[in-house]
């Protein structure tokens, strides 16, 4: 199996309660990523709007999939000839709640959208007070030049079934948009889980996080053997890795763990 490699950028920044300012940073980082050879640019969770702690403004700033944030991302994707993946605070059906959504767009608009499945009701947080969980539905993927990309959000990284279902789509790369909250050992959890999801599914995993003081930073692209290819420390920046489907194929030939497994994943009611 051979094919083109594609530059995948993790873009690390701290979204704020200012949608225009967020889009300005996104535009700067997309241009920087493209200049470094990226064709896919991954941004963090809640890239459209973020406030800490959550309050009623979250729902007030929620948008639809055809709203101004996605429209602006689509224009940037067209201008720079890239796919952009970013966290959107999406309007929800439940009053006072939002959907925690990741959208992937190209020059023509939305090509995939993923609504966070597992809400962050852990480590003293209660995301479910403000966020409506995503429905159990078909995995969200898109393809570019023969490489399949799958979408995931933050806390879902702790549930290996999610990435296993994505691997079953034939994905070569899982893109994880995150706001991985800082705390004791949380940097270790972030790194360990990203590496584990790559190793057990023999594919690339890219994670884009908020930098400190709220996030842990350390956005990274991990290869199918669990080796970090590129990473960012705690600054606002982009890092570009060139993913190669031939490497996925080679690792799976040597370590056919997916083919040898004796269990499948089914949804829980």
For residue 1, the tally of other CB atoms under 10 A from its CB is 12
Compute the distance between CA of residue 128 and CA of residue 110 in angstroms, rounded to an integer.
26
Our answer to whether residue 161 is catalytic in this structure is no
Query: Which residues neighbour 150 within 8 Å (Cβ) at sequence distance 6 or greater?
Result: 139, 140, 141, 166, 167, 169, 171, 173, 174, 175
Q: What are phi and psi of 72, to 5 degrees?
A: -65, -40
Our answer to whether residue 154 is catalytic in this structure is yes
Distances in Å between the Cα of 245 and the Cα atoms of 25, 248, 255 are 31, 5, 15
Of 19, 39, 127, 154, the catalytic one is 154
Of 45, 127, 179, 187, the catalytic one is 45
CA-wise closest residue to 152 among 66, 42, 227: 42
Our answer to whether residue 116 is catalytic in this structure is yes
Of 116, 127, 132, 187, the catalytic one is 116
Q: Which helix (H) or strand (E) holds 79?
A: helix 68-80
The residues annotated as belonging to the active site are 45, 116, 154
């Amino acid at each position: 199996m051979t094919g083109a490699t594609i530059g995948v950028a993790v873009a690390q920044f701290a979204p704020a309660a200012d949608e225009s300012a967020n889009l300005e940073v996104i535009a700067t980082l997309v241009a920087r990523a493209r200049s470094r050879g990226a064709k896919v640019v991954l941004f963090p969770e809640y890239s459209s709007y973020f406030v800490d702690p959550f309050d009623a403004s979250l729902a007030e700033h929620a948008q639809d999939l055809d709203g101004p944030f996605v429209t602006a991302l689509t224009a940037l994707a067209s201008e720079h000839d890239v796919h952009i993946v970013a966290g959107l605070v999406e309007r929800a059906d439940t009053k006072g709640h939002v959907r925690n959504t990741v959208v992937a767009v190209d020059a023509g608009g939305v090509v995939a959208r993923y609504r966070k499945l597992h809400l962050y009701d852990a480590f003293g947080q209660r995301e479910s007070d403000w966020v409506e969980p995503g429905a159990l539905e078909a995995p969200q993927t898109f393809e570019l030049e023969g490489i399949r990309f799958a979408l995931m959000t933050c806390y879902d990284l702790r549930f290996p079934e999610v990435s296993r279902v994505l691997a079953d789509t034939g994905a070569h790369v899982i893109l994880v948009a995150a706001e991985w909250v800082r705390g004791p050992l949380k940097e270790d959890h972030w790194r360990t889980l990203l590496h584990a999801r790559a190793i057990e599914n023999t594919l690339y995993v890219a994670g884009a996080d908020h930098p400190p003081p709220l996030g842990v930073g350390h956005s990274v692209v991990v290869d199918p053997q669990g080796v970090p290819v590129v990473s960012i420390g705690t600054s606002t920046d982009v890092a570009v890795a060139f993913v190669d489907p031939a490497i996925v194929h080679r690792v799976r030939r040597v370590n056919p763990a997916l083919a040898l497994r004796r269990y499948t994943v089914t949804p829980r009611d």
